[in-house]
Copies of this chain bind each other. A is one copy, B any other.
Amino acid sequence: MNTKQRLIDGTLQAIRTHGIAGVSARTVAACAGVNQALVFYHFGTVDALLVAACHTATAERVQVYRDRFAAVGSLRELLDLGRDLHTEERKQGNVAVLAQLLAGAQTDERLAPPVRAALNLWTNEIESVLRRLLDRSPLADLTDPAGLARAVSAAFIGLELYEGVDPTGATAALDALDQLATLTDVVDDLGPLAHRALRRHTRKERPPRKQTTRRGLPQTPTDQA
């Protein structure tokens, strides 16, 4: 039972070190310090091991942040938590693992569902915070928490990958988003006049574009609560 865990940890380490392209039963076993044949004894295939590692790693990390997500009281605080989370998880290489798995899942349909489930674990946390924050904000009519949460997750992954090839640029990107977040403070502080202006804009329907979904997530499978 201990070996299964060592293999999973070894898998995560292998992904961090060699990327999804460099993962093999041999590299994983080397990182785990166990025999290569044990990969197949315990998991059958390398793919299945990746699936197991994907779930374990994400569920663990989401759990760590659950309380902090629940304590968030403003968009500003959410952004700050996002930055902390980014710094901390980057150091541990957990976002990198998820990004690599996501890249691998693009062309591996057996990996796609577990990766989607893993992403949903993060997305659901963000979504519930956003729903809570935006519900009685003047932005309520303007935003779909579910969609926005997914946009945030996607951007997070993108920034992680971006940072891998251009750390300075990634820092500038985060700082820019930080500056931009001031906008939400402004909206919160402007008072009833701005609220009325916002509503005016919201009601004024924009010219329709060719879009599949107009608002919200009609029937997205959530995979994991």
Residues of A with Cβ closer than 8 Å to B?
17-23, 80, 83, 96, 99-100, 102-108, 112-113, 115-116, 119-120, 123, 139, 142-144, 146-148, 150-151, 153-159, 161-162, 164-166, 168-180, 182-183, 185-187, 189-190, 193-194, 197-198, 201-202, 206, 209, 211-217, 219-220
- The reply to whether B154 and A172 form a contact with Cβ atoms under 8 Å apart is no
Contact of A161 with B157 at beta-carbon distance under 8 Å, contacts A103-B19, A106-B19, A214-B175 already known: yes
Give this chain's copy count. Answer: 2
Label chain A's interface by main secondary structure.
helix
Contact of A177 among B139, B151, B164 (CB under 8 A): B151
Contact of A161 among B106, B113, B171 (CB under 8 A): B106
Contact of A106 among B115, B144, B165, B194 (CB under 8 A): B165
- The reply to whether B150 and A176 form a contact with Cβ atoms under 8 Å apart is yes
